[in-house]
């Protein structure tokens, strides 16, 4: 369970989140959508404790977590931009993350799934953006975390790898996990999302299923429904 209570976040004079509240009690895939600057990544980073709000509370599994860190072992996080040490090899990075988290992992099957075997001894600084994103996916999905937070996970992926990513997300959803995802790829939302949380001007402008969004806007597809919300 994840719960945000009356979260307000300002950067200087700019209010990014204005008294936001929502709760996710059951497993599923929840797409956090909105225009650039609407606070999508900020919400994810507040849940992770990477950004502190001026006001409000965050609860994970009924525990208040602001300014604590132990709860993060329950979460796997895929950042929008992965900043890896360029001088490490892929293998060294995976071993380092395994040592830091000290949890059972399943990196071998993910390495095979994403075709990363031939890159294991390559330095991260010499990899393409798409290959680095595949490494990012391995690091995120190799632990059995009940909560996954995915910030623009499709960046740089080829079509085959995108299909693999969708399959991984579906598998985790079937296991009853909570998956929070931000993405500009609306086809990914249409195929995966159980609910949409749409942010606009610091507030939750809509929350509900794709069907409820279509009913609210009277539009036939997600692209036109989102455009309707922005008008």
Q: What is the mean pLDDT of each run of 10 residues along the chain (231 residues)?
A: 96 94 96 92 95 96 91 93 90 96 95 97 95 96 97 92 95 97 92 95 94 94 92 83
pLDDT confidence of residue 168: 97
Residue 51: its pLDDT value, please? 95
Question: For strand 63-64 and strand 55-60, is the pairing parallel, antiparallel, or unpaired?
Answer: antiparallel
Query: Would you state the pLDDT for residue 81?
Result: 79
Residue with tokens 């159980």: 194
Structure tokens, 153 = 């996970």
Among residues 57, 22, 1, 7, the alpha carbon closest in space to that of 198 is found at 22
- Domain boundaries defined on the chain: 2-230
In angstroms, the CA 36 to CA 71 distance is: 29
The first and second tokens of residue 22, run together, are: 């929502």
* Token couple for 2: 């994840």
Homologous superfamily in CATH for domain 2-230: P-loop containing nucleotide triphosphate hydrolases (3.40.50.300)
- The answer to whether 150 and 78 are in contact (CB under 8 A) is yes
> What was the pLDDT predicted at 82?
77
Structure tokens at 33: 């959508």
């Amino acid at each position: 369970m994840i719960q945000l209570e009356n979260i307000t976040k300002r950067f200087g004079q700019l209010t990014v989140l204005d008294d936001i509240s929502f709760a996710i009690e059951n497993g599923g895939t929840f797409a956090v959508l909105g225009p650039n600057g609407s606070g999508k990544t900020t919400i994810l980073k507040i849940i992770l404790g990477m950004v502190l709000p001026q006001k409000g509370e965050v609860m994970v599994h009924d525990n208040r977590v602001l300014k604590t860190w132990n709860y993060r072992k329950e979460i796997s996080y895929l950042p929008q931009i992965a900043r890896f040490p360029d001088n490490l090899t892929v293998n060294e990075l995976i071993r380092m993350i395994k040592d830091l988290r000290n949890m059972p992992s399943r990196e071998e099957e993910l390495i095979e799934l994403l075709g990363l075997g031939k890159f294991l001894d390559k330095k991260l600084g010499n990899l393409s953006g798409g290959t680095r994103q595949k490494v990012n996916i391995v690091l995120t999905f190799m632990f059995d975390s009940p909560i996954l937070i995915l910030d623009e996970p499709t960046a740089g992926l080829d079509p085959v790898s995108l299909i693999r990513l969708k399959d991984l997300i579906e598998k985790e959803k079937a296991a009853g996990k909570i998956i929070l995802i931000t993405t500009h790829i609306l086809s990914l939302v249409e195929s995966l999302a159980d609910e949409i949380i749409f942010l606009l001007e610091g507030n939750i402008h809509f929350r509900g299923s794709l069907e409820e969004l279509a009913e609210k806007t009277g539009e036939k597809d997600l692209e036109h429904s989102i455009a309707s919300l922005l008008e």
